[in-house]
A and B are shown apart, each in its own frame.
Chain A
Amino acid sequence: MTAKEIKDLIKLIDEHKLAEFKYEKADVKLTIRSSTYSKEKTSVLTAAPMAAQTIMPAHAPQAAPAVAPPAAAEPAAVESSNLVEVKCPIVGTFYRSPGPDKGPFVQVGDTISEGDVVCIVEAMKLFNEIETEVTGKIVKVMVEDASPVEYDQVLFLVDPKG
């Protein structure tokens, strides 16, 4: 796990106001607790894959001193120029519209909010409508309509302040 991933995690934990987060995989064991952590709270979330969106910090993050308890989940100040990437969750073919004769789901300048469909990725004739997790304004469409896309490829850039 890289310092950047840990930093992103802390931000996510803060956004979702989690008191405690535990992660275990192979030889990695990570516990993050926020100032709201107390021993009585025991609600457990099952492990989920890393979030599809990652934040691009304007400056490279350095060491993450946040592993020890009671490190507060205080998000590192995020600079104003930060854009959020909407990434592709599966290998397939990218379509911007619901059908060949239809208009695109979203265009540059459109404001999107969580749950909006932004595109279709077709994989072996399964048509996946990709719903965004972010709210903001579309700044750039990174892929041409009807072209192949890879897992984790950036599809859209979104300005969360837009």
Chain B
Amino acid sequence: MIFASALFIGHNIVRLETVNSTNDYALKLLTDENPADGTVVTAVQQTQGRGQYGSTWASQAAHNLTLSIILRPKQLPIQRQFALSMVTALAVRSLCQSYHVEAKIKWPNDIYIKRKKTAGILIQNGIMKQQISSSVIGIGLNVNQTDFDPSLPNPTSLSLETGQTYDLEVIQKELLEHFERFYLDLLAASYEVLREQYLVALFQKDVVRSYQRQDGGIFNGIIRSVTIQGKLCMEVDDQIEEIDLKDIKYII
């Protein structure tokens, strides 16, 4: 499928050779300057890539995509902010699908190919006066890397899955196009449209799998849905439980 070029996402791109973290750089841009909506920060090498609170994202220089998108989704109600996660995960998944790689979204926002992680997302919002005044969307996507640190639990890349090597410039351009397409749904407040697509792409949906509770106990559950706020709905012993992030762990 061919998409028109993105209209405003990535219209303005800050290309860096080396940076600690594209998210940190984007956050500083927001404080110091007044970057246009849709400004993208990319780096050939990210030395201290950030994952979720306190964790890191390691990426081999010049092999992968590491980028951050700056947005000001002021019209997005703060209680609907999970839509930002859905947009980003759907964009990465759609990109993979367009290369005939079946990718799934592991709740809430990791991208898995088969049972291995190929992309991570870190979203950092600025909240002022009950509004999302800014949002920095960090995406790390493994593209051409084929060697991974053995300490990583289960990494993969597009290249490992297909045996091909990709042009990062092209991949980046296409990813931003996919992102914009879903972001327009967010701007149109079509949260249900996003959620339906997110559910179709959900990892381990409608199958019995083992999960681990916070207390360490293992149980069987079936992922059935995700609420608009982002809570996981899991069927356990014929009952639907709404599950928060810290309640369970996947057993991969």
Contact = CB atoms under 8 A, between A and B. Distances in A.
- A and B, one complex? yes
Interface of B: 52-54, 78-79, 81-82, 84-85, 108-109, 121-131, 133, 229-231, 245-246
A74 interface: no
30 contacts: A48-B129, A51-B130, A52-B129, A52-B130, A89-B78, A89-B127, A90-B78, A90-B127, A91-B229, A93-B246, A95-B53, A100-B54, A121-B127, A122-B53, A123-B82, A123-B230, A124-B229, A125-B85, A125-B123, A126-B84, A126-B123, A127-B124, A127-B125, A128-B78, A128-B124, A128-B126, A129-B125, A130-B127, A131-B126, A131-B133
Contacts of A117: 126
Given A48-B130, A123-B81, A126-B84, 14 more contacts: A90-B79, A99-B53, A99-B54, A100-B54, A123-B229, A125-B109, A126-B123, A126-B125, A127-B53, A128-B124, A129-B125, A129-B126, A130-B127, A131-B128
Contacts of A93: 246
A131 B127 contact: yes
A88 B131 CA distance: 12
A63 to B, nearest CB: 28
A126 B81 contact: yes
User: Which of B53, B78, B121: most chain A Cβ within 10 A?
Assistant: B53
Contact of A90 (B54, B81, B85, B109): B81
A12 to B, nearest CB: 11
B126 to A, nearest CB: 5
B35 to A, nearest CB: 17
B198 to A, nearest CB: 12
Contacts of B52: 125
B74 to A, nearest CB: 11
A133 interface: yes
Contacts of B109: 125
Contacts of A100: 53-54
A49 B84 CA distance: 21
B70 to A, nearest CB: 14
A120 B123 CA distance: 12
A104 interface: no
Contacts of A109: none
Interface in A106-128: 115, 117, 120-128
B129 A124 contact: no
Nearest to B232: A124
Contacts of A89: 78, 127, 130
Nearest to A90: B78
A127 B133 contact: no
A93 B127 CA distance: 15
A22 to B, nearest CB: 19
Contacts of B124: 126-129
Contacts of A133: 128-129
A101 interface: yes
B80 to A, nearest CB: 10
